Amino acid sequence: MNRRTFLLSAGATAVLLAFRNKLSFAKGEAAVPVKAPKPPTEPLLAPWKGPYGGVPPFDKIKVKDFKPALMKGMDLSRADIKAITDSKDAATFENTIAAFEDSGRHYGRAGSMFGTFTSTMNDKAMQKVQKEMAPVMAAFSDEIIQNEALFARIKTVYDGRAKANLTPEQLRLVEKHYTSFARQGAALNKDQKAKLAEINKKLAEAFTAFEQNQLHDEESEQIVIDKEEDLAGLPESIRGAMKAAADAKKLKGKWVITNTRSSAEPFLSYSSRRDLREKVFKMWNSRGDHDGEHDNKPVMLQILALRGERAKLLGFKSHAHWIIDDNMAKTPDNAMNLMMRVWKAATGRVKEEVADMQKIADAEKANIKIEAWDYRYYAEKVRKAKYDLDQDQIKEYLQLDKLREAMFWAAGQLYGFEFKLLKDKNIPVYQKDMTVYEVVRDGKHVGLWYFDPYARAGKNSGAWMSEYRTQENFKGDVTPIVSNNCNYVRTKPGQPVLISWDDANTMFHEFGHALHGLNSAVHYPSLAGTNTKRDFVEFPSQLNEHWLSTPEVLTKFCVHYKTGKPIPQELVDKIEKAKNFNQGFATVEYLACAIYDLKIHTLPGDKIDLSKFYADTMKEIAMPSEIAMRHPPAAFAHIFSSDAYSAGYYSYMWADTLTADAAEAFEEAKSFYDKATAKKLHDNIMSVGDSIAPEQAFRQFRGRDVDTNALMRDRGFPIPAAATVVPKKK
């Protein structure tokens, strides 16, 4: 997403952690007597077959099979847990922690596919299953967490960890599982556990409702243009995409702006029809915010109240305090202090940007005051005037297929990866537009990368990375299977898909998550790949964005879609000169979301007037009237469709402090392809997952703690007199 989504590893990680992450795998029924079921043969449960250690059986998955498979998977997991708790031997790492790590693998496979379908193939039938199963799965997660015998054994190992002669990774795993149980209420009394389970069940239902309401608006709302003159200002590539969208909806002779970012933002950037820009902006900005059956405002209130109640039950002042306590930031104040340090500089830059835009509007005698639906349009005019740089001119060199090749090439230079298209291997996919690549290093198989690039009905908006299977060598040498998912608008057959610079940046970002999963070299799946702290996991992905703008990528892969000629050096120089252009806008539209998220989740949760809170918050931080939050509250899926980024949207900025400093390491080495620096990045960040603390990982890479002033330098903002230091882990 900017937009990021993660499916966690199989086994215990999927059972425990995935429920609290992006897909909020839920649950809701009381424990039942456990009778060990027969080994499953169902595609959703059975070990995957085929090459590369097995591949997801997308060709055999049917929506009707999800419920019975998930229910059977729960029983199989119960049998795994019972085998641990029935042991008469004293609890040890091997018979408790390692055994728990190996539990729930059948259920984990089914859960992984369930999450994949609810985010990419969520038609009406799948939505019905999701609505039914989300609370059931949430309840099952609580059943595991609240298993007193299991937690007692985990606590025994945790309490004796110092004398158990454990390896550093084993120690890390003990601490991770114990902390996960303790934070989620394993030590509560019987009545409190029952209350917590009820809260989590209701949250799972509310998360599903929020996601489906937003998806409804994105699929059902569009703007149809009948007259060609209403396309004034739009480049041919955008017109072609709108025409293709209309053809797909059987609206011959018309043009369609769909309710997706990849469709709305280009229109807002180039359409000279201000009335239509306003109409498109308001359609995109009002998703989930319509009174009636699909209104997300009541759902938001329910979620906030339940989160506040849960935090209090767990002994925390607020939901934000509960979430951030287990992240690098440690406290909401630390997160807010970093954001407000940047906020002042960003809003100062916005004033300069708006003044430049208003000057052009006045010169054109537009007789307007810049509004939110004008910002992108006039920003392009300023870019052209200041830097002689036209984003649409750059777009002619940004072909989707070529950018995919660029990502592969850069990954090869940094990590030695080679990507081989498996078009003749008959690897199952869930949608015909997907492609699958084998990832190889030094002739040895590393993993698989799936690519799902296009928007369609039933698919969540935005872009994200998923892990179908997480790397491990705990139970054999298990290689990772990862995917990247985007929402680009298809063009006519035979025509290249041209994307914006921002979308190209997003591609490299999400591919950075995939590289994090593919580079993993960890023993236990719960510690592998992207299973790290929320405010650290964005670091590898944000760092990967830097390779898009390197001269090597621009000159090798950014070729004109008609002539095939490389991007001219003159244009490359202009891109470099304008790299911090519009940084005020980009930072403010993001930070407004992160500040809103943190502030609303530090409240108790009940009796919140959403409209008043929004207005008061924007007034308090002096939000520029010319900019809207990147994600309007009623469509803020990051924080309201699961717990994943709730009270954690700040994490992009927190991780960017690490990113900016890490990028300077390559700059100091005089090349983003410096082999020694790339090796340090691989050895200390990309391959270690959560097997060591993130602060320690960064310190080993950089040789010191993070310099947060690097963030200000990277964005071209003035550095405040008093520096802020990211606190060390307590």
Residue intervals in the chain for CATH 1.10.1370.10: 190-220+288-387+583-648
Span 178-188, pLDDT tens digits: 999 999 999 99
Span 577-617, pLDDT tens digits: 999 999 999 999 999 999 999 999 999 877 899 999 999 99
Question: What are the catalytic residues?
Answer: 510
The span from the CA of 85 to the CA of 148, in Å, is 9
For residue 490, what pLDDT is reported?
A: 87
Quote the Cα angle for 684-17-138, to 5°.
170
Place of tokens 């097995």: 54
pLDDT interval class at 301 (50, 70, 90): very high
Residue intervals in the chain for CATH 1.10.1370.40: 12-187
For residue 722, what pLDDT is reported?
A: 57
Q: Are 376 and 354 in contact (CB under 8 A)?
A: no
Segment 325-351 mean pLDDT: 97
Write out the two tokens for 214. 């937003």
Q: Are 392 and 404 in contact (CB under 8 A)?
A: no
Write b or e for each residue in 188-206: b if 16 or more Cβ atoms lie within 10 A of its Cβ, otherwise e: beeeebebbbebbbbbbbb
For residue 493, what pLDDT is reported?
A: 84
Is residue 527 packed enough to be buried (19+ CB in 10 Å), middle (13-18) or exposed (0-12)?
Answer: buried
The span from the CA of 455 to the CA of 260, in Å, is 8
Mean pLDDT of the chain: 92
State yes or no: pLDDT of 255 exceeds 70.
yes
Span 427-449, pLDDT tens digits: 999 999 999 999 999 999 999 99
Fold held by 12-187? Neurolysin; domain 3 (1.10.1370)
Percent of the chain whose predicted confidence (pLDDT) is above 70: 93
Pick the CATH number of 190-220+288-387+583-648 from 3.40.50.2300, 2.60.15.10, 1.20.810.10, 1.10.1370.10: 1.10.1370.10
